[in-house]
Amino acid sequence: MDANAVAELQKAGVKVDQPDRLYVAVEWQDGKHVVPVGERAQVRDGELLAHVGLQPISKLWTGNKQPPSFAKAPPAEYEPFFMLIEATAAGYCRATRNTETDQEFERLYRHLLRRPDGTDRNPLFSYLQGAVRLYMSLREVSQAEFEAVVERLHQSARHFSTHTGSINYFQEVLRGVLGA
């Protein structure tokens, strides 16, 4: 958790007790180029937009709680974490009018798992990181819990992939999030 980020969001009027209603919104440079998420992220809470400073993922890990098995379905307590990440992914695809392929989502989630504070050529990676950083700023999350959530997202993208160029993960999972 990050008390500074919580205070900054509360001051802006963001409802920090409902992270499943939030997502990291796309920022544009000159209305043409996506600005990757850096130290600060643009957070959307309904019609409200706020900017917040976010620490790197590795600095936000708290405790050593072990997550339960996600083999069948993640427990309800993890749903807000998934929702924030998937809402950010859906919002990104909608804003950029570019539906990433299942293989690209799989690659990005795998990269996030392996290099949580890394960089990638695809700006969507920084938005997925931003979503994780935002959630972990609001809730205590151990490294093992982070890894379990991102691994489950990676498996989901892989599960929906049927062929090169398929966008089933977006169509089956993300489309309903935010009405993307």
Question: Is there a contact between 173 and 85 (Cβ–Cβ < 8 Å)?
Answer: no
Sign of the torsion formed by the C-alpha atoms of 153, 90, 100 and 131:
negative
Whole-prediction pTM? 0.93
Q: How many CB atoms lie within 10 A of CB 103?
A: 17
**What average pLDDT score do residues 35-52 get?**
95
pLDDT at residue 180, as a whole number: 46
pLDDT tens digit sequence for 56-114: 999 999 999 999 988 888 899 999 999 999 999 999 999 999 899 999 999 999 999 99
For residues 40 and 129, give the distance between their C-alpha atoms in angstroms, rounded to a whole number.
12
Using a pLDDT cut of 90, give the percent of the chain over it.
Answer: 77
pLDDT tens digit sequence for 136-155: 999 999 999 999 999 999 98
Q: What is the mean pLDDT of the chain?
A: 92
